Structure 1
Amino acid sequence: MSDIELFQRFALAAAIGALVGVERHWQERDEAAGQRTAGLRTFTLVGMLGGAAGLLELALATGGGNHGLVIAGLFLGLTAAMTVFKLREAVAEQNFSVTSLVAAMLTFAMGALAILGDMRIAAAGGVTLTAVLASREALHGLMRKVTWPELRSAIVLLVMTVIVLPLVPAQPIGPFGGISPSRIWLLAILLAGISYLGYLAARVFGATHGALIAGAIGGLLSSTATTVTNARQSISETATPASATLLAAATLAAGAVAHVRTAGLAVLLVPALAPTVIPALAAAALVMALAALLVGRTTSQGGSRTKDVNPFDLSQILQTALLLGACGFAARAASAWFGEKGLFIASALSALADVDATTVAVGSMVPSGLATATAATAILIGASANTLAKTAYAVILGSRRFGLVVAGGSLGAVAAGSVAYWMAG
Structure 2
Amino acid sequence: MDLQQIEPFLVALAIGLLLGFERERSHSRKLPAGSRSFALLSLVGAVAASFNLWSVIAGMVCVAAFLALAYLRTSQQDPGTTTEIAAFAAYLLGALAYTKPALAVALAVIATVLLLSKSRIHRFAREIISEIELEDAIKFFVVAFVILPLLPDRPIGPYGVLNPAKVWLLVVLLTGIGWIGYIGVRALGPQRGLLVTGLAGGFVSASATTASMGRASRGAVGYRAPLAGALVASGATFVQLLLVIGVVDVEVLRRLWLPVTAAGVVLFAVAFFVYRSAAAEQRREPAPDDTTGSTPTARPFALRPALILTAVLTVALLIGRWGAAVFGPQGAIIAAFAAGLADAHAGSVAAASLAAKGDITVDTALIAIAAALGSNLLVKIVLAFTAGGRRFGLGFLAGIAGPAIVFGAALAVVVNTG
Q: Same fold (TM over 0.5)?
A: yes
345, 363, 366: which one aligns with 1:356:
345
Letter in 2 for 1:189: V
CA distance in 2, matches of 1:114, 1:266: 42
CA distance in 2, matches of 1:186, 1:140: 33
Matches within 5 A, 1:275-354: 275-303=254-282, 307-354=296-343
Q: In the alignment, is residue 165 of structure 1 matched against residue 155 of structure 2?
A: no
Matches within 5 A, 1:9-158: 9-28=8-27, 30-31=28-29, 35-54=30-49, 58=51, 68=54, 70-91=55-76, 93=77, 95-115=78-98, 117-144=99-126, 145-158=128-141
| Structure 1 segments unaligned to the other structure (5+ residues) | 62-66
CA shift for structure 1 position 392? 2.5
Q: In the alignment, is residue 212 of structure 1 matched against residue 195 of structure 2?
A: yes
CA distance in 1, matches of 2:386, 2:107: 50
**Change in 2 beyond 3 A, CA 1:306/1:276:** farther
**Change in 2 beyond 3 A, CA 1:113/1:365:** closer
Q: Is the 8 A contact 1:335 1:350 kept in 2?
A: no
Counterpart of 1:234 in structure 2 is 217
Letter in 2 for 1:153: D
Could you say what secondary structure the match of 2:213 adopts? helix
Q: Is the 8 A contact 2:215 2:388 kept in 1?
A: yes
Query: Which string of whole-angstrom CA distances, capped at 9 and with x for unpartnered residues, describes residues 199-220 of structure 1?
Result: 1111112111111111111110
Q: Which segment is superposed worse, 78-87 or 396-405?
A: 78-87
Counterpart of 1:64 in structure 2 is none
CA distance in 2, matches of 1:271, 1:52: 55
CA shift for structure 1 position 301? 0.9
The TM-score, its normalising length taken from structure 2, stands at 0.88
**Aligned-pair identity (%):** 30
Could you say what secondary structure the match of 2:159 adopts? coil
CA distance in 1, matches of 2:317, 2:121: 42
Q: Which segment is superposed worse, 167-176 or 5-14?
A: 5-14
Counterpart of 2:289 in structure 1 is none
**Change in 2 beyond 3 A, CA 1:322/1:90:** same
Letter in 2 for 1:170: D
CA distance in 2, matches of 1:259, 1:290: 14
**Change in 2 beyond 3 A, CA 1:265/1:78:** closer
Query: Which string of whole-angstrom CA distances, capped at 9 and with x for unpartnered residues, describes residues 244-292 of structure 1?
Result: 2221111111111112222332233221123432222222222221221
Q: Is the 8 A contact 1:391 1:410 kept in 2?
A: no
The TM-score, its normalising length taken from structure 1, stands at 0.87
Letter in 2 for 1:412: G
Q: Which segment is superposed worse, 40-49 or 180-189?
A: 40-49
CA distance in 2, matches of 1:422, 1:73: 74
CA distance in 1, matches of 2:349, 2:168: 23
Q: Is the 8 A contact 1:243 1:306 kept in 2?
A: no
Query: Which string of whole-angstrom CA distances, capped at 9 and with x for unpartnered residues, describes residues 23-50 of structure 1?
Result: 112112x55xxx3443222212222333
**Change in 2 beyond 3 A, CA 1:114/1:342:** closer
Letter in 1 for 2:141: L
Matches within 5 A, 1:339-418: 339-366=328-355, 367-418=357-408
**Change in 2 beyond 3 A, CA 1:398/1:38:** same
CA shift for structure 1 position 3? 7.5
Q: In the alignment, is residue 258 of structure 1 matched against residue 237 of structure 2?
A: yes
CA distance in 1, matches of 2:61, 2:368: 68
CA distance in 2, matches of 1:221, 1:80: 49
CA distance in 1, matches of 2:56, 2:399: 66
| Structure 2 segments unaligned to the other structure (5+ residues) | 286-293
CA distance in 1, matches of 2:402, 2:96: 61
Matches within 5 A, 1:184-203: 184-203=167-186
Counterpart of 1:182 in structure 2 is 165
CA distance in 2, matches of 1:294, 1:252: 11
Letter in 2 for 1:47: S
Q: Is the 8 A contact 1:48 1:111 kept in 2?
A: yes
**Change in 2 beyond 3 A, CA 1:423/1:364:** closer
CA shift for structure 1 position 306? 7.1
Query: Which string of whole-angstrom CA distances, capped at 9 and with x for unpartnered residues, describes residues 33-85 of structure 1?
Result: xx344322221222233344445xx2xx7xxxxx62x5444433333333233
Q: Which segment is superposed worse, 403-412 or 388-397?
A: 388-397
Q: Is the 8 A contact 2:185 2:296 kept in 1?
A: no
CA distance in 1, matches of 2:387, 2:41: 60
CA distance in 1, matches of 2:250, 2:4: 50
Structure having the higher Rg: 1
RMSD over equivalenced CA pairs, Å? 2.3
Letter in 1 for 2:174: L
CA distance in 1, matches of 2:145, 2:385: 34
CA distance in 2, matches of 1:391, 1:4: 62
